[in-house]
């Protein structure tokens, strides 16, 4: 079956070399029904598959997400050729992940295109600009302190242990929730927290494609259903859970909006909800964009955050230098956090370089034909970037490119020189809307940890990645010794 589909897809979507005496088809991973290489191979197994695919197919090749063609870019010159007009690119429908993805996030700001994106972006106004986010740094610091106080009371910090990926996982969610909704009542906080396992379960099924086991005579196997639009008619647990989540998610946001109105408060949820009520945004777009900001970016932010304590624990010299920088900063603390030319900012950028949150970027298509990697790629063909190839294997980063050296981000470079050499939040004007908030969250948390604790690896520490999630998250214990207590005991 897969071979038949492969022949059909290669016939339907031919991509040939250019400039050769004899045209060659682009190297292509074999199609496997029904997911192709997405999303299990592309994300859950992405780091391993990236090496395999480059070894087998070279620096420019094609994979399949479902039956959609995606061209993988591994070199900065090809990234520049493709993304030079990224403002006019189209995001892949439902992220090339199928029907269930569309039901959760298909209409969110990050996945819509063209006039739909412009209208939704207009409704956001200046809610997530750099200046707006910077103004909230004192409040973010307060939320972080409360969270760590709870970890001391109910978590393993009391015994000087922490697993950043696990123990800090909900911290970004509470910070973003506070930013969007303002302070939540205990009842609303519980309402939101109770949605997390259901939403996690649904997104896990998006990534897996909703594999369902079957047995025909003596043959056992599984088939993926939620990628297909017709799966909405099935009396499945997935459809039951999806309906349950949508009802509860809408009710939660309605409740928060009503409370904000009654109290005369005006956090971002009020501005966004009124855009919906005035007809400038659909209810589906509103709820899915809020989902993207909270749940969709939950794993993304903790993925970016969780590796930082490990790198600092493993590099005591950098940790001590950073602690000294924080303690001797001349300006007010919020101004220091907001600056991009500090060792704090550089250490976070270096961690993100060495541990990209995902093995491959979000697929998007250029509006015109692209001659890249020796092949002529038709307009509206989706491209993805191999983040490890760009961030680590790229010669731009020098002979020590595999090493942790934050100072590389403090070296003087020509303006724009790094633009196509480094992937973190994407390229061009359609970079992640929440990038400033995500960056500030990570800076505040890292600064708090370095100020308060001496971070060290112990004999059992590993550099394991959490399994079963599409984002690269650390799954490792570190030791956190309270500096004040240690000094008091001397």
Structural tokens at position 272: 């966004």
Q: Locate tokens 């298509």: which residue?
A: 365
Pairing of strands 364-365, 90-91: antiparallel
Length of the chain: 490
Q: Count of CB atoms within 10 A of residue 94's CB?
A: 23
Q: With beta carbons less than 8 A apart as the criterion, state whether 473 and 357 touch.
A: no
123 labeled part of a ligand binding site:
no
Q: With beta carbons less than 8 A apart as the criterion, state whether 329 and 467 touch.
A: no
CA atoms within 13 A of residue 273's CA, in its CB half-sphere = 19
What is the biggest distance separating any 2 CA atoms in the chain, rounded to whole angstroms? Answer: 77
In angstroms, rounded to a whole number, what is the distance separating the alpha carbons of residues 435 and 429? 12
In terms of Cα–Cα distance, which of 473, 476, 477, 475 is closest to 303?
Answer: 473
For the chain, how far is it from start to end, CA to CA, in angstroms?
71
Q: With beta carbons less than 8 A apart as the criterion, state whether 325 and 339 touch.
A: no
- The torsion angles phi and psi of 327, rounded to 5 degrees, stand at -70, -25
Q: Could you give the C-alpha distances from 262 to 242, 250, 270, 485, in angstroms and in order?
A: 30, 18, 11, 45
- Which residues have CB under 8 Å from 308's CB, separation 6+? 164, 347, 348, 351, 442, 446
The annotation places the binding site for heme at 432
The annotation places the binding site at 432
């Amino acid at each position: 079956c897969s071979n038949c589909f492969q022949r059909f897809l290669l016939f339907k979507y031919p991509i040939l070399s250019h400039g050769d005496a004899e045209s060659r088809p682009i190297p292509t991973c074999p199609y496997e029904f029904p997911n192709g290489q997405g999303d299990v191979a592309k994300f859950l197994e992405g780091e391993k598959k990236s090496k395999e695919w480059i070894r087998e197919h070279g620096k420019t090749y094609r994979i399949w997400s479902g039956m959609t063609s995606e061209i993988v870019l591994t070199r900065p010159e090809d990234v520049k050729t493709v993304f030079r007009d990224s403002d006019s690119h189209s995001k892949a429908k439902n992220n090339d992940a199928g029907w269930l993805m569309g039901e959760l996030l298909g209409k969110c700001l990050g996945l819509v295109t063209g006039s739909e994106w412009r209208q939704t972006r207009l409704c956001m106004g200046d809610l997530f600009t750099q200046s707006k986010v910077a103004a909230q740094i004192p409040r973010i610091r307060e939320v972080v302190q409360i969270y760590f106080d709870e970890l001391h009371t109910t978590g393993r910090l009391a015994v000087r242990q922490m697993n950043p990926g696990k123990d800090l996982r909900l911290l970004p969610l509470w910070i973003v929730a506070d930013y969007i909704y303002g302070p939540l009542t205990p009842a609303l906080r519980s309402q939101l927290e109770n949605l997390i396992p259901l939403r996690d379960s649904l997104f896990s099924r998006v990534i897996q494609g909703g594999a369902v086991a079957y047995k025909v005579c003596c043959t056992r196997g599984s088939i993926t259903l939620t990628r297909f639009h017709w799966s909405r008619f099935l009396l499945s647990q997935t459809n039951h859970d999806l309906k349950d989540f949508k009802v509860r998610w809408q009710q939660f946001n309605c409740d928060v909006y009503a409370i904000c109105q009654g109290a005369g408060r005006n956090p971002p949820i009020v501005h966004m909800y009124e855009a919906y009520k005035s007809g400038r945004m659909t209810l589906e777009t509103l709820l899915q964009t809020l989902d993207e900001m909270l749940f969709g970016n939950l794993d993304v932010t903790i993925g970016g955050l969780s590796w930082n304590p490990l790198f600092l624990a493993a590099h005591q010299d950098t940790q001590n230098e950073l602690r000294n920088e924080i303690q001797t900063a001349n300006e007010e603390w919020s101004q220091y956090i907001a600056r991009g030319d500090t060792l704090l900012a550089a250490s976070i950028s270096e961690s993100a370089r060495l541990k990209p949150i995902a093995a491959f970027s979000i697929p998007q298509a250029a509006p015109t034909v692209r001659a890249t990697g020796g092949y002529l790629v038709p307009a509206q063909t989706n491209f993805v970037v191999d983040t490890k190839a760009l961030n680590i294997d790229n010669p731009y980063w020098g002979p020590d490119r595999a090493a942790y050296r934050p100072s590389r981000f403090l070296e003087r470079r020509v303006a724009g020189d790094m633009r196509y050499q480094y992937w973190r939040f994407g390229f061009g004007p359609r970079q992640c809307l929440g990038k400033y908030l995500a960056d500030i969250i990570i800076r505040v948390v890292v600064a708090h940890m370095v100020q308060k604790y001496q971070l060290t690896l112990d004999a059992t520490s590993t550099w394991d990645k959490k399994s079963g999630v599409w984002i690269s998250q650390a799954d490792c214990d570190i030791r956190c010794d309270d500096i004040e207590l240690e000094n008091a005991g001397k």
